[in-house]
A = this chain, B = another copy of it.
Amino acid sequence: MKHLPHKTIARLSQYRRALLLCHAKGKTHIFSHEIAKILHITAVQVRRDIMLIGYTGTLRKGYNIKDLIDLIGRIIDSEEGINVSVIGVGNLGRAIVNYFSGRRTKLSIVACFDVDSNKIGKKTSGIEIFHIDDLQRIIEEKNIKIGIMTVPSEQAIDIAELLVKAGIKGILNYTPKPVNVPKDVFLEEYDMITSLEKVAFFVKTHD
């Protein structure tokens, strides 16, 4: 197992969630075409991804759900878990924190940051909100590895720089402003405006 394609990683995460649901229902085995159906992709793709991670199912019974869940976990999770922080406690920041709170996973959101003095010291979905001035200190103290940026776009560049300086290893940028990070920091950017414009384009052309 040398180099897993980015897309495969993303799908593994989705396979696992689907599998966890099946597992909860008491199902023990699953076929590639069943997984495919749930995620609306092709069975070949599922088999290929599973091949890439070196798992092998049993003929006629399909894949053992529990085993596959565990294997995906060993691949995409860190054994010790990874601490995450959210920078910018607006609607989007709150949505994300709320989303993740209460999940029993290897990823935990352990701190939020904002500049609004009304928010500092309070909690959102159980997670404490700190002032951005304390970002460096808290990130070190709490051993935070990932930062999710949900700040206004004008602040994106500065915050990204701050995160890098604080030693963060991965950034998820939900700001529509592209940021620049050294290549040892993994950066994932998602731009809602662009996504909507893309949908609009296809709606327009498919008319």
Contact = CB atoms under 8 A, between A and B. Distances in A.
Interface residue range, chain A:
35 or more
Given A38-B178, A40-B180, A91-B98, A13 B202 contact: no
Contacts of A96: 192
Contacts of A107: 196-197, 200
17 contacts: A17-B193, A40-B180, A75-B201, A76-B200, A76-B201, A78-B203, A84-B196, A91-B92, A91-B95, A107-B197, A169-B203, A170-B202, A172-B196, A172-B199, A184-B206, A186-B203, A190-B190
Query: Copy number of this protein in the oligomer?
Result: 2
Contacts of A84: 196, 200
A94 B95 CA distance: 9
A188 interface: yes
A82 B204 contact: yes
